[in-house]
Amino acid sequence: MLNFFKKKSSQFFSENEKKLIVNAIQAAEHNTSGEIRVFIENHCSYVNAIDRAEQIFVQLKMYETAQHNAVLIYVALKDRQLAIYGDKGIHEKVGKAFWNEEVKLILQFFNKNNYAEGIATIAQQIGDALKFHFPYNKQTDINELPNDIVFGK
C-alpha cells in the first residue's frame, strides 16, 4: 500500500476510476446550473485543507459562475487531507452542516480505500443539493466550468 501513495496524483486513479468521477460530475450537473470540480494533489501546502481548497477555487476561477454555485472537492492524497468548498450562493443555501456531513460520508469511502467511488458519490450528492437549490433551466444554463479532474503536484 505504501508504494501506492508514491505515485503522482494523476496516476493514482485508473482510467476507469477517472471516468467514474467525470461521469458522476456530468450526471450531477445535468439537472442544475451549479458546477462541480475535483482537484487532486499529493500534498496540501497549507495546514488547513479548507484554506488550500479556497486558494484552488480562486485559481480555477470558480467564483465566476453566474449564480455563485460552484463546488470544489479538494483531496491531498499523501497528506490524507480533504475539503469541500462551496461558493457563497450554494453555501448560503445548504450551510456548514451539509458540508460537514459530506466530508463524513466521503471519509467512510476513503477509510476503505474506495477513493474514486467516494468522490463520485459525493459529487452526486452535491449535485442533488445543487439541483434542489439551482435547478437546470434549458433556456439560460450553460456548462460554465470544465468537468475534468484537475491534478496538481
Burial class (CB within 10 angstroms; exposed 0-12, middle 13-18, buried 19+) of 36: buried
In a domain, 5, yes or no: no
Buried b (16+ CB within 10 A) or exposed e, 92-128: eebeeebbeebbeebeebbeeeebbbbbbbbbebbbe
Is 35 domain-assigned? yes
Domain count along the chain: 1
Task: Confirm whether pTM is higher than 0.85.
Answer: yes
| Predicted confidence (pLDDT) per residue in 84-116, tens digit | 999 999 999 999 999 999 999 999 999 999 999
Is 75 domain-assigned?
Answer: yes
Q: Which element (helix H / strand E) includes 16?
A: helix 15-29
Cell triple for 9: 496524483
In a domain, residue 128? The reply is yes
Share of the chain above pLDDT 90, in %: 79
Q: What are the Cα distances from residue 57, in Å, to 17, 47, 50, 78, 108? A: 23, 17, 10, 20, 24
Going by C-alpha positions, the residue among 98, 87, 89, 97 that lies closest to residue 126 is 98
Query: Does residue 6 belong to any structural domain of this protein?
Result: no
Query: Which pLDDT does position 9 carry in this prediction?
Result: 65
Domain membership of residue 2 (yes or no) is: no
Residue 67 lies in a domain: yes
Range of the domain at 112: 11-134+143-151
DSSP assignment, residue 42?
Answer: S
pLDDT tops 60 at residue 6: no
Give the domain CATH number at 31: 3.10.310.50
On whether residue 82 sits in a domain, the answer given is yes
117 pLDDT higher than 70: yes
CB 25, CB 71: distance < 8 Å: no
